[in-house]
Chains A and B, each alone.
Chain A
Amino acid sequence: KAGVTQTPRYLIKTRGQQVTLSCSPISGHRSVSWYQQTPGQGLQFLFEYFSETQRNKGNFPGRFSGRQFSNSRSEMNVSTLELGDSALYLCASSPGGTGNTGELFFGEGSRLTVL
């Protein structure tokens, strides 16, 4: 079974630009979560989607948004990039649904550098 795939792996943007990151979950997984990882803040929860619905959202400004498609693939978008948005963005999938224990399967991440 293929793992969680994130694209692109690395990207460099300048302040003020926007970026879209993509995540393909493990086949059959309907839940996708996004995290921002930085050396100072650790892993911060961005949002979680299940069957195209956002079920939970972290404490990030409205510049951070996401969506999930009918095939469970997910994208997150960051608009008006700031230097502080430089981070590793991790996507994780899980089966979701009733009785789900919440074990997360992570991709390798998209490393965003904002200059």
Chain B
Amino acid sequence: AQSVTQLDSQVPVFEEAPVELRCNYSSSVSVYLFWYVQYPNQGLQLLLKYLSGSTLVKGINGFEAEFNKSQTSFHLRKPSVHISDTAEYFCAVRLTGGFKTIFGAGTRLFVKA
């Protein structure tokens, strides 16, 4: 069975600083990988996804993530964060051809002025 581990439950960072949110997954077969963001009192929305091909994927709002198959990681990065990036971020995995998406526990990003 697949699983997802988000290594940091909370990440405080100053505005305009870079940030990395870490995600490791476990699966014996090929997977699709996703990052979603949840703002307060809202549902989740997709930031970016890795399906195949280039290991560096770019998403909305200046975020990007790199798929590392040997380390089974899919870390999310942004070179310069804004106050408006304060939210909870979820890494997720889905088996290719599967019907279930498994989410990590989430990382709360708090951007300080």
Q: Which of A45, A50, A108 contacts B101 (CB 8 A)?
A: A45
Q: How many residues of B contact A (CB 8 A)?
A: 22
Could you tell me the dominant secondary structure of chain B's interface residues?
Answer: strand
B22 CB to nearest A CB, Å: 16
User: How far does the alpha carbon of A106 sit from the alpha carbon of B103 in the complex, in Å?
Assistant: 13
Kindly supply a per-residue 1/0 record for chain A positions 33-74, scoring 1 wherever the CB is within 8 Å of any chain B CB and 0 otherwise. 101000000110100101000011010000000000000000
**Is the pair B46, A102 in contact by a Cβ cutoff of 8 Å?**
no
If A4-B43, A109-B43 touch, whether A104 touches B101 (CB-CB below 8 Å) is yes
Q: Which of B45-77 contact A (CB under 8 A)?
A: 45-46, 49, 51
Contacts A43-B90, A101-B49, A103-B34: A108 and B99 contacting too (C-beta < 8 A)? no
Q: Given A101-B32, A103-B49 in contact, is the A56-B100 Cβ separation under 8 Å? A: yes
- How far does the Cβ of B3 sit from chain A's closest Cβ, in whole Å? 12
- Among B32, B90, B106, point to the contact of A102 (Cβ < 8 A): B32
Can you name the residue of chain A whose Cβ is closest to the Cβ of B90?
A43
Question: Which chain A positions have C-beta within 8 A of B13?
Answer: none
Q: Which of A48, A50, A90, A103 has the most CB of B within 10 A?
A: A103
Ranked 7 nearest A-B pairs via Cβ: A106-B43, A43-B103, A102-B94, A42-B105, A55-B99, A56-B99, A106-B44
